[in-house]
Chains A and B, each alone.
Chain A
Amino acid sequence: MGDWRAVIMPEQEPSPDSKEFNYRYTSRSHMSPHNSFIETLPLFTSHNLSLFCTKENVEQCIAYLNQELATLGFPSFYTEEAPRELNLETILNCMYDLLQLHRKGLRMLEDMETQNLKSSSNMDHLYHSQVKLKDQLELSRREVISLQEKDRQQQLKNRTLHNLLKNEKEEIQKLQNIIASRATQYNHDLKRKEREYNKLKERLHQLVMDKKDKKLCIDILNYVGRSDGRRSVWRTGKTEARNEGEMYKSLMNNYERHHKELMVENIELKQVLQQMKKDMMSILNRRKQRPKEHMEDCSGIAGSDDEEDSLESNKENSLELSCDAVREQLTNSIRQQWRILKNHVEKLDSRASLVKPGFHDDDEIISRDDHEQEIEKLKGEIQQCRDMIKAQQQLLQRKGFEEERATWLKQQFLNMAPFVESKRPKIMKPQSALSISAEQEKHKIQSQPNMSAYLRPNTAPVATAELSPNTKFPPINSAASTETGRTVHLTPETSSKFAPKRGNVGSYDVKKNGGGAAHEKCRGTPKPSSDHRYYNGCSSLWNHSQEDNYLDENSLRSTNEPNCK
């Protein structure tokens, strides 16, 4: 029966050999929990159990198992009383214990596997960091070497420069010595030559004098009087003394003048200093009245006491011009005051700088933005105002022009009035078309050339011909009728021009009373209700009939003065 071999179930046995563990781990590292589950599987497959125990070898199996478990420390299967009877309790206990053992074993395996993982990852990490550190170390070693090399080179350079400098200095010294020696040599030579020269000069002088040249003379017609008109004086001791005296006198005068100037300057400067001192004292006194530092207090007070004393003494001594003590006192006191003032100002400065740095920046930052915004705003406003001004200027120009034309046209109309009467039927037609905007175009086309013809000064006489038949005018063309028609035609337009000027309208009314229905109609229409329309229509007609550059102006005027009455 026992032909069964001890089946080695290597997976179950907790092998103490770590290497084997590692190996196992490494080969199945990713699958260990699963693996442990797989490990447990063979327990539950009946495969192994069937191999171990069969119907024949039950007794042997039991005996074997008993033996094995006994070696492991478990109690025997057999009961105590009868050796062949199995103690089920003990068997079950053994089984249970084995199960527990197994579970513990698995748990331990798990733990060890995780620990293994951790330690291997640690090792990896350490390995990598070690590599990095080695690299760094290598790098820094190289750097150190290179810096050392540079340092060495610099030191070498320094040394060579030092040497150069030393050499140059030595050279300079040498050259200076050379120069000095040469200078003495030249001086000596020069003196020698000069002596020779002097000797020659003396010789020559003697020769010249000895020769007693007749030519050496002055040939003068007559002697001239002295420039100052006086006689020349013999040279005597008195004159010498007098000359000396005069020389000293002039020198003295010069010195005295100089002295006076310096004294005056001195006095002025002293006065300035006094003034300065007073000012400084007043400033510091003002400051003293407010609460301040103790240090300054003491010195200031002390100073002021001194000052008061010296001030009095100065007042006494100001008339004494240069007394040493007074002068020193003055300068010392001024120095003191100045020192106090300087300290004070410095303190103020430091305080100011402490208090205000942040504010300053903020202020500046804020105000700069504000500033820019304001500037933009103002620029926009300026532009708007400029545009407005331009527009108004244009308006004014046209207004002026139109006034002129209005007066001129008015004159024309006034002159033409009788013509208008006779041509009533013609008047009617164009007038009726007036209110219809569609026909305005026609009229526009008609009136445009007419208008321009009318507007030409040449046509003026036509209008006035009727007034004064005696006056000479160019002959009225056959187009006169059309012209009158034109003129009549034009009345509404001109009236539209006059419409804003109530005065004119009124006068027109008066003048054209005899105009008849046409005019009345014309008059009629500019009644309040249709006022606007009429005016607009007329003005539009007017617009069309006028040149382009008046277009804007009138439209503007219409917009500006909707109420033409």
Chain B
Amino acid sequence: MNFSELFKQSNQLCRLSPDGRYSAVCVQYRLVIRDVHTLQVLHLYTCLDQIQYVEWSADSLFILCAMYKRGLVQVWSLEQPDWHCKIDEGSAGLMASRWSPDGRHILNTTEFHLRITVWSLCTKSVSYIKYPKSCQHGMDFTKDGHYMALAERRDCKDHISIFVCSEWQLMRHFETETQDLAGIKWSPNSCVLAVWDSCLEYKVLLYSLDGRLLSMYSAYEWSLGVKSVAWSPSSQLLAIGSYDEKVRIINHVTWRKLVELEHLSTIRNPKSVIYKEVETCPHLGGDGLSFPPISTEKSSLFNSESKYEICQPPVDVPVVKPDPDRANPKLGIGMLAFSPDNQFLATRNDNMPNTLWIWDAQKLKQYVVLEQLSAVKSFHWDPCRARLAICTGSNKVYLWSPAGCLSVQVPAEGNFQILSLHWHPNGDSLMLLSKDQMCVCYLETAGEN
């Protein structure tokens, strides 16, 4: 594994282009385009204000920079560095901005979710979509980019509109049976739309592409409901993570529950492998192995090495009890992701923040448990294979694959605390982001410990 030097960045706005050739790094109001392999600066663009959002177009030809405070979106071209485009929302303000899948339209969500403006880079046309719903995942495009589903709220009721992206034509518009829609997600085969309600009610609805309700799933009543949802890449399974610390997997044939995956605080299953991250402080002399309790980033003063040890069950997982009086408790399955080959499902239970659970998606059983020294900040699967990269806010990046587990310290001067990471589209390198620095990690082989 090779590490590049550190580069400055702001707001953790570093994105790799979808074709894998360029990396875009924002430094305050400047946008730096680098070549991925040589890290040579190819272009440098200057925006009018501090950039708050960056997105590549799907064909990697354009890149948009959104400045919410000014209500501006600036678009840059990689082919023609002189080309410029500026979109001003004016007094409508700007809350969010994104590309359409064809890379030629920009969808701006104005303030207060008043409307969504569709700006076309090809024509002079502007479209407006009224009443978008203000929720976390209110808009989703299909994988092939043909259709867009948008959640709307009219007359105190939730609706979903399905648009054809090629002409922005409204194809279907139907009401959903949710109280307060929290999110929508297309299945990877673009045929089924999963819609889930807010956490006050556990309800997952499945609509087909033409707007028919296929099925409804509700695991229980009264308690806090769905927290996260993920489709398996083959569209055969839908994993629903909820506040009761369980993941329920639904199958696409009957839309019924296949299995309930529990995140127990004591792991007794003798077949699951438990990797525990252990600090090895070499300068303390000898084999100074220490098992510190849940530590925060601030305590890693020594920038010590760490390695993984295999523990035998039964193992107690450290639990952080959430405050019952506060809203949005840190409880339940907040992060959920399938591996690209459908083999594994990685989950994080928010009240066991140091632990990452990996489940075998074929057998629907517990497979591996990774216990880290600090809370898991984010994890992403390699886009091409079953390899998981994890960062916990320490200066180490952790990799897991079925072959084993690896903890690598980033050789950087000073404090480099990894807060987020992005995989390169071909899975050969990782972009590691700290608060204001960026580092690229090149993975040579897939072999681990």
List chain A positions with a Cβ less than 8 A from chain B: 179, 190-191, 194-195, 198, 201, 204-205, 208, 211, 213, 215-228, 232-233, 235, 239-240, 243-244, 246-248, 250-251, 254, 262
CB of B171 within 8 Å of the partner chain:
yes
CA A190 – CA B157 in complex, angstroms?
12
Contact B167 A243 (CB under 8 A): yes
User: Interface residues of B toward A: which range?
Assistant: 35 or more
Contact B122 A223 (CB under 8 A): yes
In the complex, which residues of chain B have a beta carbon less than 8 angstroms from the beta carbon of A215? 88, 90-91
- Least CB distance from A161 to B in Å reads 26
Within 8 A of A (CB), among B74-110: 75, 77, 82-92, 102-104, 110
CA A165 – CA B191 in complex, angstroms?
50
Contact B122 A232 (CB under 8 A): yes
Chain A to chain B contacts (Cβ below 8 Å), 13 pairs: A195-B156, A201-B112, A208-B90, A208-B110, A218-B119, A219-B86, A226-B122, A227-B58, A227-B102, A232-B123, A247-B147, A247-B209, A250-B190
With A201-B114, A250-B191, A254-B191 in contact, is A221–B85 under 8 Å at CB? yes
CA A247 – CA B130 in complex, angstroms?
24
CB of B39 within 8 Å of the partner chain:
no
- Least CB distance from A539 to B in Å reads 57
Across the two chains, which residue of chain B brings its CB closest to A200? B112
In the complex, which residues of chain A have a beta carbon less than 8 angstroms from the beta carbon of B77? 224
In the complex, which residues of chain A have a beta carbon less than 8 angstroms from the beta carbon of B123? 223, 232
In the complex, which residues of chain A have a beta carbon less than 8 angstroms from the beta carbon of B86? 218-220
CA A386 – CA B103 in complex, angstroms?
81
Contact B88 A205 (CB under 8 A): no
- Least CB distance from B134 to A in Å reads 10
- Determine the main DSSP class of A at the interface with B: helix
Contact B103 A205 (CB under 8 A): no
In the complex, which residues of chain B have a beta carbon less than 8 angstroms from the beta carbon of A179? 222
With A216-B92, A239-B169, A243-B164 in contact, is A224–B209 under 8 Å at CB? no
13 more A-B contacts (CB under 8 A) besides A218-B124, A228-B102? A195-B156, A211-B91, A216-B88, A216-B91, A219-B85, A220-B121, A227-B104, A232-B167, A239-B167, A250-B190, A250-B209, A251-B208, A251-B210
Across the two chains, which residue of chain B brings its CB closest to A235? B167
Interface 1/0 per residue, B170-205 and A, CB below 8 Å: 010000000000000000011100000000000000
With A204-B112, A219-B86, A220-B85 in contact, is A247–B104 under 8 Å at CB? no
In the complex, which residues of chain B have a beta carbon less than 8 angstroms from the beta carbon of A198? 155-156
In the complex, which residues of chain B have a beta carbon less than 8 angstroms from the beta carbon of A204? 112, 114
CB of B5 within 8 Å of the partner chain:
no
Contact B90 A216 (CB under 8 A): yes
In the complex, which residues of chain B have a beta carbon less than 8 angstroms from the beta carbon of A190? 156
CA A47 – CA B297 in complex, angstroms?
131
Across the two chains, which residue of chain B brings its CB closest to A253? B191
- Least CB distance from B374 to A in Å reads 38
CA A233 – CA B90 in complex, angstroms?
29
CA A247 – CA B115 in complex, angstroms?
26
In the complex, which residues of chain B have a beta carbon less than 8 angstroms from the beta carbon of A248? 210
- Least CB distance from B200 to A in Å reads 9
CB of B59 within 8 Å of the partner chain:
yes
A-B interface, 4 closest residue pairs, ranked by CB to CB distance from nearest: A213-B90, A216-B90, A215-B90, A220-B85
Contact B102 A226 (CB under 8 A): yes
In the complex, which residues of chain B have a beta carbon less than 8 angstroms from the beta carbon of A243? 164, 166-167, 169, 171
In the complex, which residues of chain B have a beta carbon less than 8 angstroms from the beta carbon of A205? 114-115, 130
CA A141 – CA B254 in complex, angstroms?
69
Option from A218, A244, A246 in Cβ contact (under 8 Å) with B85: A218
In the complex, which residues of chain B have a beta carbon less than 8 angstroms from the beta carbon of A233? 167
In the complex, which residues of chain B have a beta carbon less than 8 angstroms from the beta carbon of A226? 102, 104, 122
Contact B83 A222 (CB under 8 A): yes
In the complex, which residues of chain B have a beta carbon less than 8 angstroms from the beta carbon of A246? 146
Contact A208 B84 (CB under 8 A): no
Across the two chains, which residue of chain A brings its CB closest to B82? A221
Interface 1/0 per residue, B117-145 and A, CB below 8 Å: 00101111010001000000000000000
Option from A217, A223, A240, A247 in Cβ contact (under 8 Å) with B121: A223
Across the two chains, which residue of chain B brings its CB closest to A195? B156
With A208-B114, A211-B91, A235-B167 in contact, is A247–B210 under 8 Å at CB? yes
- Least CB distance from B28 to A in Å reads 22
Contact A217 B88 (CB under 8 A): yes
Contact A244 B87 (CB under 8 A): no
- Least CB distance from A226 to B in Å reads 5
Across the two chains, which residue of chain B brings its CB closest to A205? B114
CA A247 – CA B163 in complex, angstroms?
11
CA A250 – CA B190 in complex, angstroms?
9
CA A247 – CA B112 in complex, angstroms?
32
CA A251 – CA B126 in complex, angstroms?
30
Across the two chains, which residue of chain B brings its CB closest to A230? B166
In the complex, which residues of chain B have a beta carbon less than 8 angstroms from the beta carbon of A254? 189-191
CA A228 – CA B146 in complex, angstroms?
13
Interface 1/0 per residue, B390-434 and A, CB below 8 Å: 000000000000000000000000000000000000000000000
With A195-B156, A216-B88 in contact, is A251–B167 under 8 Å at CB? no
- Least CB distance from A136 to B in Å reads 53
With A226-B104, A228-B102 in contact, is A240–B156 under 8 Å at CB? no
In the complex, which residues of chain B have a beta carbon less than 8 angstroms from the beta carbon of A240? 169
- Least CB distance from A122 to B in Å reads 71
- Least CB distance from A56 to B in Å reads 124
CA A297 – CA B115 in complex, angstroms?
79
In the complex, which residues of chain A have a beta carbon less than 8 angstroms from the beta carbon of B103? 227
In the complex, which residues of chain A have a beta carbon less than 8 angstroms from the beta carbon of B155? 198
Across the two chains, which residue of chain A brings its CB closest to B191? A254
With A216-B90, A224-B122 in contact, is A251–B209 under 8 Å at CB? yes
CA A244 – CA B112 in complex, angstroms?
33
Across the two chains, which residue of chain A brings its CB closest to B102? A227
CA A246 – CA B103 in complex, angstroms?
21
In the complex, which residues of chain A have a beta carbon less than 8 angstroms from the beta carbon of B167? 232-233, 235, 239, 243
In the complex, which residues of chain B have a beta carbon less than 8 angstroms from the beta carbon of A239? 167, 169
In the complex, which residues of chain A have a beta carbon less than 8 angstroms from the beta carbon of B190? 250, 254
- Least CB distance from B186 to A in Å reads 12
CA A241 – CA B84 in complex, angstroms?
37
- Least CB distance from A506 to B in Å reads 66
In the complex, which residues of chain A have a beta carbon less than 8 angstroms from the beta carbon of B208? 251
In the complex, which residues of chain A have a beta carbon less than 8 angstroms from the beta carbon of B89? 216
Contact A223 B124 (CB under 8 A): yes
Across the two chains, which residue of chain B brings its CB closest to A262? B253
Across the two chains, which residue of chain A brings its CB closest to B121? A224
CA A157 – CA B104 in complex, angstroms?
77
Option from B88, B126, B222 in Cβ contact (under 8 Å) with A219: B88
With A204-B114, A226-B102, A239-B169 in contact, is A218–B87 under 8 Å at CB? yes
CA A208 – CA B94 in complex, angstroms?
13
Across the two chains, which residue of chain B brings its CB closest to A186? B200
Contact A235 B191 (CB under 8 A): no
CA A228 – CA B58 in complex, angstroms?
12
- Least CB distance from B403 to A in Å reads 31
Contact A247 B88 (CB under 8 A): no
